[in-house]
Amino acid sequence: MTLATTDTGRFDSERTLGLINYGLLFSALFFGGVPAIVAVVLAYTQRGSAGPTVREHYRFQIQIFWIGFLLSLIAGICGVGGVVELTGDAWRNGGSHGEMQVDETDFTVRVIGLFIGSAVSLILLTLWSLAAPAVGFIRLATAPRPETAA
């Protein structure tokens, strides 16, 4: 009976930490990604000692982090690329006076494509950062306790 109580208590404490991690991942969108770094460090450090159910959730949390990081990286590269391209075109249009002059010809297909790529990546990042932790949280919160021998 003591063994079953200990296993149940361990699962409950592991599940609590897993739920907190999902909360950190969810809130990362609103706090510049810093909570996600805390969550992924916790997931990496705890997954080796966790039970099979919670270990799978830690794996999913790590996946959530890296997919979000990749989408952020794509959005940033596309956004910066679009700004650099647009600035270069505006600088070249300024002529010999060294001025920057932006007109409609500066918005080339390449610049527009980079800005669209950035916007699409940000939309996907937002959806992923809100939906994936919420689904994982619900799955972990409703996960049954493992059966233990009485």
Mark 119-133 as b/e (b = at least 16 C-beta within 10 Å): eebbeebeebbeebb
- Is position 149 within any domain? no
- 40 domain-assigned: yes
Determine the Cα–Cα distance for residues 3 and 63; give it in Å rounded to an integer.
Answer: 33
**Residue 35 domain-assigned (yes or no):** yes
Q: What are the pLDDT digits (tens) for 73-120?
A: 999 999 999 999 888 877 776 655 666 666 666 678 888 999 999 999
| 26 assigned to some structural domain | yes
Kindly report whether the global pTM for this prediction surpasses the value 0.85. Answer: no
Whether residue 44 lies inside any domain: the answer is yes
Structural domain including 65 reads 7-141
Count of domains for the chain: 1
Determine, yes or no, domain membership for 127.
yes
